[in-house]
Amino acid sequence: MGRLNRSTVLSLYTDHMDQIQAHAQACYPEECCGLMLGQIVEIEGQVQKKLLALYTVDNTWEQAAVPIDEATSTSPLTAARRYWIAPQDLFNAQKYARTQGWDIIGVYHSHPDHEAVPSECDRKWAWPQYSYVIVAVKNGVPHDFRSWMLDDQQQFRTEQVTVLDAVATSTLETDI
């Protein structure tokens, strides 16, 4: 468990950051979501997650078979308040990532007219190894971008984000 205590850094290219924000803007006022694929490297005790591709998925909250008691307090329960990634999308993303020698390193989603801070629902569904990028969108315009990770107490802490200038990146659309 010591690994989780160490600081991690999420590094991503400006292109990916732009694409995540564009996706968040396009889905407004609903939440967008997608998977982040890349490589995890450990350099001198520091875990670096390098985002190499985005795997865009549809927010399938409306179809998700989530037990009522898992749906927590916020209502109405629409895709404007929740996101849900279908297991098949996760499976396909994992399969694709493996062919590239990558892993799923995290999930991104947007918070329409809400700050870039994880909700209790986000926390309950979070996986310890993943980075959780949240984009806050106010009146249709993305204005905050943060990454979060669970600590050993299952609480979210902000994760350092390094933005790299660069070229040519790919976005995979699952619905093509």
Question: Could you list the residues that contact Zn ion (CB under 5 A)?
Answer: 119, 122
Helix, strand, coil shares of the chain as percentages rounded to 5? 25, 40, 35
CB of 158 to Zn ion, least distance (A): 14
- Round to whole Å and give the CA distance between 114 and 135: 9
- Round to whole Å and give the CA distance between 124 and 5: 19
- Looking up tokens 């390094």, which residue turns up? 162
CB of 142 to Zn ion, least distance (A): 14
Which residue lies nearer to Zn ion by CB, 35 or 47? 35
Is the bond leading into 76 cis (omega within 30 degrees of zero)?
yes
CB of 90 to Zn ion, least distance (A): 17
Complete DSSP assignment for 58-90: ---GGG----GGGS-S-SS-STTT-----HHHH
Which residue lies nearer to Zn ion by CB, 122 or 159? 122
For the chain, give the number of residues: 176
Which residue lies nearer to Zn ion by CB, 102 or 148? 148
CB of 163 to Zn ion, least distance (A): 22
Which residue lies nearer to Zn ion by CB, 93 or 134? 134
Structure tokens at 104: 């799923």
Which residue lies nearer to Zn ion by CB, 123 or 161? 123
CB-nearest residue to Zn ion: 122
CB of 119 to Zn ion, least distance (A): 5
